[in-house]
Amino acid sequence: MYAIVNIAGQQFKVAKDQYLFVHRLQGDEGASIEFDNVLLAEDAGKFTVGTPTIEGAKVSATILSHLKGDKVIVFKKKRRKGYKKKNGHRQQFTKIQITGINL
């Protein structure tokens, strides 16, 4: 059984007991959360497609930790002008574990 769910503006294919890194979510570590934007679900070869979402379907998860991703270097330069700008960015993520899919 798996589902395609919209979490924080991104679509993920999720299954029970799967770990995911998603954009930072509100909530404390160890808290339980539910996502109701289920777009598609598969159960034993039977597919259910939402229009746009499936009514009453929920995906439950547990927040494991909040962390930062790898550093991305942003470097801008204009040749022969003496312009150089170096910037760094670390995206904030939340690690979640899918605990169940309810249709």
Q: What is the pLDDT of residues 4-55, one digit of tens each?
A: 999 999 999 999 999 999 999 999 999 999 999 999 999 999 999 999 999 9
Model confidence, pTM: 0.83
pLDDT of 39 reads 95
Mean local confidence (pLDDT), 64-69: 97
Closest CA to 22 of 95, 99, 75: 95
Compute and round to an integer the Cα radius of gyration of the chain. Answer: 19
Structure tokens, 20:
């995911």
pLDDT of 28 reads 95
> Do residues 27 and 7 make contact, with C-beta atoms less than 8 angstroms apart?
no
Print the domain residue range for 29: 2-102
User: Per the structure, how many domains does the chain have?
Assistant: 1
User: What is the torsion angle, in degrees rounded to the nearest 10, for the CA atoms of residue 18, residue 37, residue 7 and residue 21?
Assistant: 0
pLDDT of 103 reads 86
> Do residues 2 and 42 make contact, with C-beta atoms less than 8 angstroms apart?
yes
